[in-house]
Amino acid sequence: MNKIFKNPIILALDVNSITKAQSIVSDLKNYIGGIKIGMEFFNSFGPEGVRDISKFDIPIFLDLKLHDIPITVYKTIKTLMKLDIAIINVHASGGRDMLEAAVKARDESYNKSTKLIAVTVLTSLDDSDIKEIGYRENSEGLVLRLASLAKDSGLDGVVCSAKEISLIKEKLGKDFILVVPGIRLKDDNKNDQKRLTSPKNAIDSGADLLVIGRPITDSKDPLKAIDNILKNIKEWQ
């Protein structure tokens, strides 16, 4: 993935102002690896908003976490593949048929280089939340099971927390892409995240890309925040 992303920082562009979004990307594009566009932005500005950000010539991770019946996900992926995106994701819990439908849609598009990854367990959930939902496994067991399903279904990687990185790399191989949110430095606000780690710990464990939003965008000095993150990592290979 480092052939596409010049460093591992994927900035979460979770804003509902196109002007603010363009300003953030313009100011920071030379210091980050890519941009994550989520549901807030996409629901506000749609495909045209994605095209606006694409003009800045920076890799885009379209984070819509698709989760529906297989035919709906298939048709949605076919439509989204018309956009210039580096990564797109679906929910692994949608099941094998849905995951395979997503892969089929990607592979039938002209942009076969787009990486298709699956969300395992949201980093805002811990073991008690997972138990309350109805799963008997702890977070590590559930994440590994869903990651294995994603790989078996032909996906390129998963979104997981830092807690599961080493286990997934050991079981599913170093080429299986791991995108890791829930990244914070020591003094950062945890916000609504529960399964957290530092940038260095995530990269040292085997993370390929780090999704980081509020610690940068809410900072009084975003460039300094990025520099602190890269210094924490020390080395990007």
- Single-letter amino acid code for the residue at 176: F
Separation of alpha carbons 121 and 114, rounded Å: 22
Angle at 96 between CA 94 and CA 98, to 5 degrees: 55
Cα 23 to Cα 89: distance, rounded to the nearest angstrom: 26
Q: State whether the Cα torsion 46-2-8-74 is positive or negative.
A: positive
**Residue 54 identity (one-letter amino acid):** S
Structure tokens at 17: 């102002």
Coil, helix or strand at residue 44: helix
- Residue 182: strand, helix, or coil: coil
Helices 39-54 and 18-28, axial angle in degrees (round to 10): 60
Please confirm, yes or no, whether 224 is among the known catalytic residues: no
For residue 184, CA distances in Å to 43, 187, 203, 206, 210 come to 27, 8, 13, 17, 10
Catalytic residue among 3, 6, 36, 65: 65
Compute the radius of gyration of the chain from its Cα atoms: 17
Which residues form the catalytic set?
A: 65
